[in-house]
Chain A
Amino acid sequence: DAGVIQSPRHEVTEMGQEVTLRCKPISGHDYLFWYRQTMMRGLELLIYFNNNVPIDDSGMPEDRFSAKMPNASFSTLKIQPSEPRDSAVYFCASRTTSGRYNEQFFGPGTRLTVL
């Protein structure tokens, strides 16, 4: 099994540019989660989807952030315009149908640096 796939693994961009992060969940998983990890704030849930539908986006920091899941095998997280404070590692995770003991499987992350 390929696991959760994220691309790119590293992204360096300049302030004001648009950034798009991509995620392919594990086949058959119907939940997808986007997290951000920084030294200051630790791991934060940004948004999650169930069956391609956004369920909770209360963690999205501001309108510059948007996420989509056009189909069961692909999701994007977009930042437009990007700012230096968006520099972080962004993780995507997926999980099977809601169940008490169903853990989330994490991708390797995308390290974003905004100059």
Chain B
Amino acid sequence: AQSVTQLDSHVSVSEGTPVLLRCNYSSSYSPSLFWYVQHPNKGLQLLLKYTSAATLVKGINGFEAEFKKSETSFHLTKPSAHMSDAAEYFCVVSDWRRDDKIIFGKGTRLHILP
């Protein structure tokens, strides 16, 4: 069965410093992986997705994620945090060969300190 674990429920970084949000997945098949962001009182917006074309995936707003099959990880990074990055981030896995559902992690709330 597929599952996804976000290792930190809260992460705090200072503005201008790097961001690392960790995600590990479990999947019976070659998974599809996504990161979504949810700003306060807003819907979910796709940040990036793993498409197997490259293990390092670039997304919007300067975010990147690296797919590491050996570690079953898909961590999200950004070199320099901005105040506007404060939001909740969800790692998502899909066993696309099984069904059309996606599984959400429990989310990581990113706090940006001035």
Q: Does B32 contact A100, Cβ atoms closer than 8 Å?
A: yes
- The verdict on B22 contacting chain A, using a C-beta distance below 8 Å, is no
A-B contact pairs, 29 of them (CB 8 A): A4-B43, A31-B100, A42-B106, A42-B107, A43-B104, A48-B100, A48-B101, A50-B100, A55-B100, A56-B99, A91-B44, A100-B51, A100-B94, A100-B96, A101-B32, A101-B51, A103-B34, A103-B46, A103-B49, A104-B102, A105-B46, A106-B36, A106-B43, A106-B44, A106-B45, A107-B43, A108-B43, A109-B42, A109-B43
Closest chain B residue to A58, Cβ basis: B101
A residues with CB within 8 A of B: 4, 31, 42-43, 45, 48, 50, 55-56, 91, 93, 95, 98-101, 103-109, 111
Q: Does A42 contact B104, Cβ atoms closer than 8 Å?
A: yes
Q: Does B99 contact A43, Cβ atoms closer than 8 Å?
A: no
Residues of the A chain whose Cβ atoms lie less than 8 Å from the Cβ of B43: 4, 91, 106-109
Q: Which of B34, B99, B102 counts the most A-chain CB atoms under 10 A from its CB?
A: B102
